[in-house]
Each structure stands twice: as structure tokens, then as C-alpha cells.
Structure 1
Amino acid sequence: MKDVKVSEEQIKKYYDEHKDDYRAPESLNIQFVVMSPETVKMTAEPSEQELKDFYEQNRKKYEVEESRRAAHILIAPDANEADKAKADQDAKAKAEKILAEVKADPSKFAQLAKENSADPGTAESGGDLDFFTQGQMVPEFDKAVFGAKKDEIVGPVKTEFGYHIIHVTDINPAHVRPFGEVRSEILKFWQDQHRQSMFAENADGFTNMVYEQSDSLDPAVEKYGLTLHTLDGLTQSGLPKTSPDAQYITKRVIEDLFSPDCLQEKRNTQAVEVAANTLVSARIVKHTPAHIKSFDEVKGEIKDQLELEQASALAKKAGEAKLAELKAKKDLEGFGHELTVSRINPQSQSMPLIQAEMAVPAKSLPAFTGTTVPDGAYVISYVESSKMPAADDSQVDEIRGEALTSQSRADEASFYEGLKKLYKMEILKKEYEYQAPTVMK
């Protein structure tokens, strides 16, 4: 870059020759409002007594069923034993022995679980399964746990997984959560219901207001306590999905904004339902027709582009000279560490460099090669050796699928071109123009 100087005349000449590259689409600066249960202004709050009454009338809603905490040691039959009956007997005998040991000294349970349990998910934690409710475990295990007392050790319990020694370590009895614990939930539920009700009451009024007083959104903002949002540079192609406003400025809203009523008459759009219980109305603040950007607007962009092009050309020239020197001297000083790369696994290399490396004939290896990469640099590579991958049927099927897809796309494009020759047509919106797919070669 230090050897590059781009003059004002060069920039202006490039601009004059490429003006169409700097064509800006028609765009709008807009205001919009969103009407939904979430945006409704709260007009009331429940009294404490109303919250308590709701709690008393819906106590069942806040019931918590009994839960129990247990630990287990799983002894599974040996899967490699040909005699399944013998494997089962051996597992049962081992489980009975461990059961006797933990009943004699319950403090050994965790250690014996770590040493013997075939359940890898719990063995390291001493067999602990944490709290669970009735019906969450397999029936035999469930029945044993919920039929035991706290601190009781039971077993061996046979399930499809093997034999379990079970220690019931804690019990949370069924209970109703107290009012103080659920008050915030009840309040939120009341507020949500109130907002839904207010939205249902106000939706028609909002719809009528933005239509009847179509010269401004301010009346709707004032009456319904809404927020007036602004958005600049909206085009007919819409907003990127990542934009926070994309959920509100949908294709339908954009079509309304670019309609004669909004563009020429300066009216609000009608209230558009962009999602369930979500209405949006918008209006144009500023309309900018499609135009070619001025020289001053794009001068810096062109300067950067020309400097990169010239610097890249100088880098290529210097790189090619260095490549010729390396080919003559066969010197690897200054090269980076060795990599094994492929088109499927390029590692840190750019695809143009991978293509250049793959283009070197295998019989010429080892050899130097070089190419310009996307950032404009010229990269030299030393290709040491080449080998074909082992045959992989799954890759063959994948390539066959890609080839068939490519062929169908080519057929589609040809069919479309044939239709164009048979029938006269006019495309009213440029974004609806058919884009021929790229065909793999």
C-alpha cells in the first residue's frame, strides 16, 4: 500500500465510467407504531384481596406433587456371556452381596456405587438421581422408590437394565405452594389477561384511527400510549432477518408503504396484522427516488478500491518474481509449518490457494506455486506430495446427488429460457425477475 498513490483524476474517471455501479434504490424514511398486548398501557392494577381470592379459587393450580430423591447401584448382566440365564444369575448374586454390604454399613453406598454401578451417568456422583416424581422412572424402579421410607435401602430391584440397589435419601411431600411464593406469578397472569382484554377492546379503535386520521400517527400514539418508532433507508427488498424491526416491517407493510396512497397521498398505511395480536401502521417521513450516488458520496469507497487493486497488482508482480526465484533456488526459508489440505478440508487456506495447489500435476511434485487470494495478497506455497483419498461410498453418493441437482437446475434454466422465446411477458417488479441458478461444473 505504501507504494500506491491514487489521484483525484483517477477516482473521478473511474466514477464516470462506472456510475451504474453506484445506483441507490428507491428508499423511505418511515415512522411506525406497534399495537399488541405488550404495548397496551395498563389502566388498572388488582387489589391484594383480588390476588388472594384468585389464589384461593385456584389452589389446585399451585399443588406440587410428592417427589423423592434416591441413589442407586446398577448391576447389569455381562453382555459378553453367551448363556443369558447365567449372566442374569451372576448379576443378581452380585447385587444381593452389595445389598447386604450397604445395609450393614449405609455410609459405604456412594463408594460402592462408584466402584460397581453400570450407570455411567450417576456412578461418579455416588449413584445420586436427584429428586423425581412418580412416573418418571421405569415402573419396577418407580414402585420400589415410592413404596419405601426415607433412608430405607431396598433391592435388588430387577428392570430391563439389570438389578438395582436403591437408597431413598429424601422425600418432599405433596403440598400447595404458599401465596407469598406465587404472588408474583398471579400478578403477572392478571396483568397478561388485562392486556389481552384491553388489546381486544382497542384493536378496532386503533385500526379505525390510523385510517380515518391518516395524516399522522400522533393521535394513535397519544390515545393508546404507543411508542413512535423510526426507520431510515427502507427499500422494497426489505430488512435483513437479523434486524430487530424485521418482525414488524413485513412484506405486506412494505407493499403498503410503496403504494400510491402512502407515496403520493402521504397517508398512514392501514393497520396490518404482522403476527397474532400484533398490528402495525406506518407512514413515510421522507421519500428518496432511485438515483446514482454523487461522486462525493462514493469517492472514499472508490479510492480504497483502486488502492487495493493497484497494491494487489504490485504484490502479484513481486510474488511472481519471488516464485521464480524460489523455483530456481529451491529454498524453503521463511515458509510456514506443514499442513495437509484438501478441497473438503482447506484448514486455514483460502480456496484460490487450494485450487492452485491442487492444479499442480502430481508427477511434478514437489513444486512451488502461487496465486492471489481474496484480500489481494499473493501467496506462495510449496506442494510437497499428493495422494488420493480412500474410496468412500457415502462421498460418491453425495457427489452423485450434487450432480443430479446441478443437472436439474440446468434443465430448469433451459426450460425458462424456452418459455421466454414462446411467450411475451413483462416483469413489473425487478425483484421478481428469475435468477438463473449457478450450475456446477
Structure 2
Amino acid sequence: MKKMLTYCVVITLFSSCYKKDDNLYPPIDTVYTSLTIKVNDTLHLRDMSTGYTMIEVYKGIPETDFAYTIVGLSGMKKEGDVLVSGSGKMDKSGNCSISVYNYNLMKYKDGMLQVVMSLDNDVQLLDTVVKEEYVIRDYQDFESIPVSLSDGYADEVYKQAQDFAFPAIVYTTSPIEGAFKGVYDGRNYKITNLTCASVKREVSGSVDRLGLFSSLDSGSVVKNVRLELGTAGIAMINQGYAGGIAAVANKALISNCSVKGNITDVSNNGLAIAGGIVGKGDNTRIIGSSHTGTIKGTLVAGIAGEAGNTTVGYCYHNGIVDAGTGGGIVGQLTATNGVSGVKIHDSYVFAADLLNEINFSAIYYTGNAAVIAEVTNCFANIGKVQSGATLYTAADELNAQLLEITATDVPEGVTLPADGKPYKAATDATQPMVLWWQ
């Protein structure tokens, strides 16, 4: 009669930067006596970024050889592929620990992973772990989003699963540094308490890039994000760019996003540019998005501080503008052969006050009169009047104009209400209309 063996396999996920919340991730402390076991645990993005998965085996036969594999099951990019494999030997107490580098695991989509251990007596131990690398549940998951363009993340879609808040700290850079290239879908959940404040830099040429994302690279999409900044908001002290969603966006799409909070340039050097949604947009579309709060600096705008070959549509800024120069929707225009390629349509500015204004225009900053933007059906209660823009004095006057707008040009994936109206009445009747999804 064969002698029965008792084994215990535990999958432990270590993080070198963060300690898990035991309420969210209860410890696996059950002793299993079956040769085939199954434990439902979850591998999160923040676990993947630490670089290691530790497999621990207890109560085995001392000095027994074994081999192990981690195999992709349901939901993986290449189901059934062996992602990681190796071999080892139990110690004199019948225990062993295996460190597995996670790089091979990170290139596979979410789904079930199976750990298979084969001992020299042909006994196999099985365990499974659910991989949810692309589900964002908290700020630690968010900070762990990879930005390396060479590692195959360009097509990945990150989906926010719930509201989350950043801790009560001040970020001196963006939570995600480097160029993000993928899709981030906030799914209309909130992100709150983000505070960014750069530190004084003495190195010539160094620049700030402050925002939820430092940079959105070619093909990236950020949508359905509801960002609420901390009390101090985002503050620049050096030259550079600041925006609620991203400091810089290049060939990106930002849709159905809102930012609440203050964005300020306190450098007073004339080299810092701030926008409610992005600091700088190149070849980018910003659709159905809004900023509510104070925008302050030498050169600022309600949506995009600087733009070239960029379209802004169905957007608004509602708050205080404290600016030397700028525009209600777009600030400085960049041009190629004298052409900006900037289009602004069906958008409005509702400023409670305009402070310290030196050269501020209703819709975009006309610093260079020879470089212009195409403006259609826009509205403002501040700044110098421009072609394609209507100046108004009260919210009810603005709302009457917004009621007449029907959306005709929206990106794929943006769903409008059945009547095609991009604006709807605000809860507060004294305020301008808000976007259809708000």
C-alpha cells in the first residue's frame, strides 16, 4: 500500500514597495491535505511590478527533487503556454522557496494561472491564481502601470474597478512618469486627493510635467476619468507643463474626462504653461471634457495650455482665471509653416472672475496674430472677442445657446444621448449646463 504524503502549497505575492491591506487580501493560512489543491487568490498590478512571485512548499519529503511550471489557463493571450518553468530540491526539512521573475507573466492578459509542481515520485501539486494585472483598484495599482514602450504594452486596456484616493502626500512628479501608451478607462469612477507640487530645480533645461499622467504617447486613450484634486491641487515652480489629466499629450484621445481643483504656475518665469485638462496637446483630440476650479499662471487656458494640430470639442471651463496671458479654452498655439491646425468647437468658458489679465482672449491666445485657430460655435464671458465666439454675460443667456447644439463629430466609442445633445441642465439652475455624461 502506497504511503500517503501531505503537502501544503502556498502562493505568496510580495511587494517591495507596498504592504497589502489584510482586509482586501486575506492571508492564505489553510493547511491543505489533498494532493491536488486550489486556492483562489488574486495577482494585482502592484504585485506584478515588484518583480517576484514566491512559491513556498512545506511538509514535503526532505531532499526530494521537483520541477515546476506556471501555465496560462482561461483568459490568457496564449492559453496553455508555459510562462515560467524551473526545478529545485526540497531542503533537509522538506521545505523549499522558489523565486520567479514576473517579467514573463506581465506580457499576458488577465485570466487564470496554474502552478504545477512535479516531484520525483510523479506526484503533482496544482494551485491556481487569478491574474488581474489590468484592473485598477487603488492608487498603488495605478502607480504600477508600466510605461515602457518596448515591452509590448501599447494595446493594453486598464479599467478602473472602483473609486480610489491618493494618500495624503505631495507628489513632486506625476504619479505615472514617462510616456503612457495604452488605454485607461476610468469607467466614471472617481480618483481623488491628487496633489502635485514640483521642487525648485537648479539644472538648466529641466522641466516639470505635472498631472495624473506625465505624458500620453501616440495612440493612447484616456476616457471616463473623474479626477478631483487635493486642496493644494497641482502647482508648478519650474518651466514646463501642467494639466489635470496629462502634462503633455501627443497623438492621443482624451474623452469624457473631468477635472476639479486648482492648477497653478507659481514660477513667474514665463516658461510654464498650464491647462485644465492638458498642459500641451499635439495632434490630440479632447472631447466632452471639463475643468472646474482656478487656473492660474503666466500662460494658461481652461482646457489646453498649448496646442498644435489639436481638436477641442464639447468642452468647458468653469471657475476663476488668474492669468497674465492665455485663452479661455486653448492657450498658446504652435504652428507648422504658419498653420496651427487647431480646431475648437461647441465649447464654453464660464469664469467667475478674471484676475491680473494682461492679454487674455475669449477662446485662444492670440500672441501671434498671424497664427490662428478655427473656432466654431463657442462662448465666453471673459477675454477679447474672437471670430467664431460669442460673448455673453449670464448663465441663462449661455444655456439658451447651448440648448441649440447637436453633436455631430465624436470619436468612435463615445456614446451620446439619443437626442444627440452634448449638454444638459446642471443641478444648480444658476450654473451653466454640464456635459451629457455628468
TM-score range, shorter chain: under 0.3
Q: Computing the radius of gyration over CA atoms, which structure comes out larger, 1 or 2?
A: 1
TM-score of the superposition, structure 2-length normalised? Answer: 0.18
Q: Which has the higher helix share?
A: 1
TM-score of the superposition, structure 1-length normalised? Answer: 0.18
Q: Which has the higher strand share?
A: 2
More contact order relative to length (CA 8 Å, sep ≥ 6): 1
